């Protein structure tokens, strides 16, 4: 294979791998994957952001590892191999967090372990990394992690603001004084069902703007 | 996709499992000292927080040595047990033993205001896992000087709120005893009367964690009953 046939690293096709999951092919709002953790970690912004980062790192690295091995992975045990790679990555990330950034690891607590069960990871490995080269797989992983993260952050922003009256722990509503005119935090927002409703509103908003996403 | 023989699949899985196992055990062994050090610093940091000394990750050890001078272990009758280091006692393991054999750690501290503070460790169950913390008492062995709580995996924004200062600050000045009777602190759903010296507000959406915390305080502190009554001023 000569240099002429080699694709540039940031070709339009490769960039699309990164940008598509942010909008038109978002893992949460379009593929409706990874909803479980989107409900659990979005009460406050901080865990949502850390979770988004951890998922991005794990999905990107697992994608690269699987893509590099894809020609040697026997078809019949590929799901097991994918799971082993994901689980190994998650345990390593957890161990490193515990040893070097202990406070972040405490913030995330059980959710690091729960990354293993996040459907987005298996979905990307099976649908993309098994059939593509490491570099596009890496971009795909970063894109999907970011697409997942962006929804998490939006949901967490509204749930924290309306449920606790704060943004990233900063008491906005108290500072602008809406409590004195009779406003009260909406306790519903901190309960899991409201995450589902907020995700639903985002899906509604996205589909009303982009009709091509609406099923026939 | 090309077909692989059974022999290839077996060898592939064996190689994969062995290399992953080696990698993980290597990582666990190499990182263990750093992780244990973190746990130790964290324990010291929580103790300092319960007496109102804010510590950074870096100056914890130094502040701990400065403020917390004395520690010893009691049995359930309130008698001192010799030869056991209070800091290394793991409360969770103690709680599995019969009460008479349990070691009950006590730490003595002197914060800047000169108060002689007694720090008692507590541990119990939340919704998803263990919750734990330190309760420090003024020299009357009745009034709460400060508390700090933490948890392994309570839901962020709900049960996890027990480690926020908004929750912990409510415990200041609450009393454990009603004259000679141990009544502990109630965590009340719907909010406690501010004049209630034995009650604090529960966390909305965190009922099971709140109840677990209440039970933890009763279970752990009642074991010190004899010691607290004997030494109060």
pTM (2 d.p.):
0.73
B23 to A95: CB separation less than 8 angstroms, yes or no = no
Rounded to whole angstroms, what are the CA distances from B114 to A10, B117, B181? 65, 9, 28
Instruction: Report the candidate in B143, B151, B190 with the shortest Cα–Cα distance to residue B171.
Output: B143
Distance from CA of B4 to the nearest CA of A (A): 6
For chains A and B, what is the number of CB pairs under 8 angstroms? 75
Are the Cβ atoms of B153 and A110 closer than 8 angstroms? Answer: yes
Residue of A nearest to B129 (CA): A110
User: Any idea what the Cα angle at residue B10 is, between residues B5 and B15, rounded to 5°?
Assistant: 125
Per residue of chain A (216 residues), give pLDDT as tens.
344 456 677 777 888 888 888 888 888 888 888 887 777 788 888 888 888 888 899 999 999 999 999 999 998 898 999 999 999 999 988 888 888 888 777 767 667 887 887 888 888 998 999 999 999 999 999 999 999 999 999 999 999 999 888 888 788 888 888 888 888 888 788 888 888 999 999 999 998 988 888 776
Question: For residue A3, what pLDDT is reported?
Answer: 46
Report the distance separating Cα B124 and Cα A87, nearest Å.
Answer: 30
Domain edges within chain A:
30-208
User: Mutation test of the interface with chain A: which of B127, B156, B166, choosing the one with the most A Cβ atoms within 10 A?
Assistant: B156
- pLDDT tens string B171-201: 988 999 888 888 888 888 888 888 888 989 9
The reported pLDDT for the residue numbered B2 is: 62
Q: Would you call B155 an interface residue with chain A, using a CB distance cutoff of 8 Å?
A: yes
End-to-end CA distance of chain B: 81
Spell out where chain B has E strands: 68-74, 80-81, 104-109, 117-125, 130-137, 144-151, 177-178, 181-182, 186-188, 199-201
């Amino acid at each position: 294979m000569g240099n002429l046939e080699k694709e540039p690293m940031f070709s339009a096709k490769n960039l699309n791998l990164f940008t598509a999951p942010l909008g038109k092919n978002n893992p949460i709002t379009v593929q409706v994957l990874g909803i479980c953790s989107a409900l659990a970690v979005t009460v406050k912004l901080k865990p949502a952001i850390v979770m988004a980062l951890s998922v991005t790192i794990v999905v990107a690295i697992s994608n690269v590892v699987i893509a590099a091995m894809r020609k040697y992975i026997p078809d019949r045990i590929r799901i097991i191999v994918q799971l082993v790679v994901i689980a190994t990555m998650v345990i390593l990330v957890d161990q490193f967090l515990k040893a070097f950034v202990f406070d972040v690891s405490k913030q995330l607590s059980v959710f690091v372990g729960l990354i293993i069960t996040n459907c987005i990871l298996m979905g990307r490995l099976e649908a993309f990394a098994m059939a593509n080269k490491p570099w596009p797989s890496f971009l795909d992983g970063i894109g999907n992690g970011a697409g997942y993260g962006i929804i998490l952050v939006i949901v967490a922003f509204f749930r924290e603001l309306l449920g606790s009256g704060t943004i990233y722990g900063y008491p906005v509503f108290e500072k602008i004084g809406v409590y004195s005119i009779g406003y009260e935090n909406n306790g519903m927002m901190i309960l899991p069902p409201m995450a589902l409703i907020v995700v639903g509103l985002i899906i509604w908003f996205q589909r009303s703007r982009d009709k091509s996403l609406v099923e026939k | 996709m090309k077909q692989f023989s059974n022999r290839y699949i077996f060898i592939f899985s064996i190689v994969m499992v062995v290399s992953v196992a080696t990698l993980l055990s290597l990582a666990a062994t190499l990182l263990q000292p750093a992780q244990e050090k973190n746990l130790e610093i964290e324990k010291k940091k929580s103790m300092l927080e319960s007496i109102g000394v804010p510590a950074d990750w870096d100056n914890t050890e130094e502040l701990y040595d400065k403020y917390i001078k004395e520690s010893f272990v009691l049995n359930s009758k309130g008698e001192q047990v010799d030869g056991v280091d209070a800091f290394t006692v793991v409360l969770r393991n103690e709680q599995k033993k019969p009460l008479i054999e349990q070691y009950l750690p006590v730490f003595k501290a002197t914060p800047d205001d000169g108060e002689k503070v007694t720090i008692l460790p507590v541990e119990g169950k939340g919704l998803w896992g263990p919750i734990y913390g330190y309760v420090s008492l003024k020299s009357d062995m009745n009034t709460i000087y400060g508390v700090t709580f933490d948890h392994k995996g309570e839901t962020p924004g709900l049960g996890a709120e027990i480690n926020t200062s908004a929750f912990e600050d409510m415990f200041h000045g609450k009393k454990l005893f009603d004259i000679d009777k141990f009544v502990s602190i109630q965590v009340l759903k719907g909010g406690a009367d501010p004049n209630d010296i034995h009650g604090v507000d529960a966390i909305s959406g965190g009922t099971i964690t709140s109840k677990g915390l209440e039970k933890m305080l009763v279970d752990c502190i009642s074991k010190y009953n004899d010691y607290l009554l004997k030494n109060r001023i």
